[in-house]
Structure 1
Amino acid sequence: ALRAKVRKIVQGDDNTQFFHMIANGKHRKKRIFQLEQHEGTILGHEHLKVYITNYYKQMFGP
């Protein structure tokens, strides 16, 4: 972990392209782009939102 911190300091600070590439990569990892279900693949932000909302409503009730 220490090596990674040193690399970030050596290669750039808060406003460099390097920092933004790291930050955008972390953001990308946290997003859900598609879900694969028995019915098929669910794509698109709105379709995912509806599917996930319905899933939790069935699990916990309205």
Structure 2
Amino acid sequence: ALRAKVQRVVQGDANTEFFHMIANGKHRKKRIFQLEQDEGTIVGQENLKLYITEFYKQLFGP
């Protein structure tokens, strides 16, 4: 597995578009873009932060 990672970095040096596609793909996997709820779809980072914060405050208390 380590060799594959090293190979990607080496290929990335020769082809920065390839390297950025790998990096952006990893970043995208870890990000939440929207939540589907009964009330509707929550979109936007600020809205998501507010909704998630309120959800856990209700769940665990202040």
How many Å apart are 1:31 and its aligned residue?
Answer: 0.9
1:36 corresponding residue in structure 2: 36
Measure the CA separation in 1 of the matches of 2:12 and 2:47.
39
Measure the CA separation in 2 of the matches of 1:9 and 1:47.
36
List alignment gaps of at least 5 residues for structure 1: none
Residue pairs, 1:1-62, within 5 angstroms: 1=1, 4-5=4-5, 8=8, 11-13=11-13, 16-62=16-62
Q: How many residue pairs align between the two structures?
A: 61
The one-character-per-residue Cα deviations of 1:24-45 (angstroms, maximum 9, x if unpaired) are 1110111111000011111111
List alignment gaps of at least 5 residues for structure 2: none
Stretches (4+) displaced over 6 A:
none
RMSD of Structure 2 on Structure 1 (CA): 2.3
The one-character-per-residue Cα deviations of 1:8-39 (angstroms, maximum 9, x if unpaired) are 256333x8221111001110111111000011
Higher normalized helix content (fraction of residues):
2
Please give the TM-score of this superposition, normalised by the length of structure 2.
Answer: 0.75
